[in-house]
Amino acid sequence: MSFGTDLQASVAERGPIVAGIDPHASVLEQWGLPNTAAGARDLSLRMLEAVQGRVSAIKPQAAFFERFGADGFAVLEELLQAARAAGVLTILDAKRGDIGSTMGAYAEAFLAPGAPMEVDALTVSPYLGYGSLEPAAERVCSAGKGMFVLSLTSNPDGPEVQHARTADGVPVASVMARHAAEANAQARAAGEWGSVGLVVGATIGSAAADLGIDLDAVGGPLLAPGFGAQGAGPAQLRSVFGSAAPRVLVSMSRSLMAAGPDAGAISAACESTRADYAL
């Protein structure tokens, strides 16, 4: 099985919500937990228990674990292994991107089967050139992994790079979408989701259409931050993503964690949110 087909099945069974697990200092305080690796561990494992079976995947943000140093990495490793044991798909939001052996080491750290911090998919930055992602792309092919390529992000400064045009007049974001579509062509022809997705913010409005990007033609999943606390809602599934809406992963972090620390309340928030975003 490829990541794309595994994710497609998970979305069909559990809906499009991806639960972000981001132990912000403010969330730890809200939960009555210390702003330490131990607090992050408590929050993370409680979140996993509350959301499993109710979301298509979890998405830990690496930075909120890394800030605790070695202890934080140990918590992230434990969370990822617990999710794998529970059969929950994992997308690590780490936005790794480099060249040559360095990118190869990132791929080995996160996408190699049996690695301590093995995940099902990784967010990656292509802005050293799409070809720099080849070590991760190789793991997508050989190990059934996935990657989400930054394309049209929700931050206000993103257009400085993503809307810029190449010497041929093609928007940079469109170049990234084209590479993803090429990687996913075989899966799409078989009626399956490809394993190379894009990160496309739910708050970008008409940017994709304005740049001439056909998100449906990508053929892979679209990881969409910006829903919930950042302002986008169910209406944006259609207005931003159009016919690609069925492949949108609705990323929710703060709005789900805000329901904690009670596990029942978090589970109920997952169910309510899934109903809100049903197509």
What type of residue sits at position 233? G
Secondary structure (3-state) at 92: strand
Can 95 be counted among the known catalytic residues?
A: yes
Q: What is the pTM of this model?
A: 0.97
Going from the C-alpha of 83 to that of each of 55, 57, 117, 235, 252, the distances in angstroms are 12, 9, 11, 31, 17
Catalytic residue among 24, 67, 84, 95: 95
**pLDDT tens, 46-104?**
999 999 999 999 999 999 999 999 999 999 999 999 999 999 999 999 999 999 999 99
The answer, yes or no, to whether residue 10 has pLDDT greater than 90, is yes
What type of residue sits at position 113? P
Q: Name the one residue in this structure whose structure tokens are 């309340």.
A: 265
Superfamily of domain 3-276: Aldolase class I (3.20.20.70)
pLDDT for residue 279: 87
Q: Where are the domains of the chain?
A: 3-276
Calpha distance 254→197 (Å, rounded): 23
Q: Within 10 Å of residue 207's Cβ, how many Cβ atoms?
A: 19
Calpha distance 114→107 (Å, rounded): 12
**Looking at beta carbons, which pairs linking 8-11 to residues 24 or more positions away fall under 8 Å?**
8/192, 8/193, 8/221, 10/56, 10/57, 10/89, 11/56, 11/221, 11/249
Rg, C-alpha atoms of the chain: 18
| pLDDT tier for residue 229 given thresholds of 50, 70 and 90 | confident
Average pLDDT of the segment spanning 244-270: 96
Calpha distance 120→90 (Å, rounded): 5
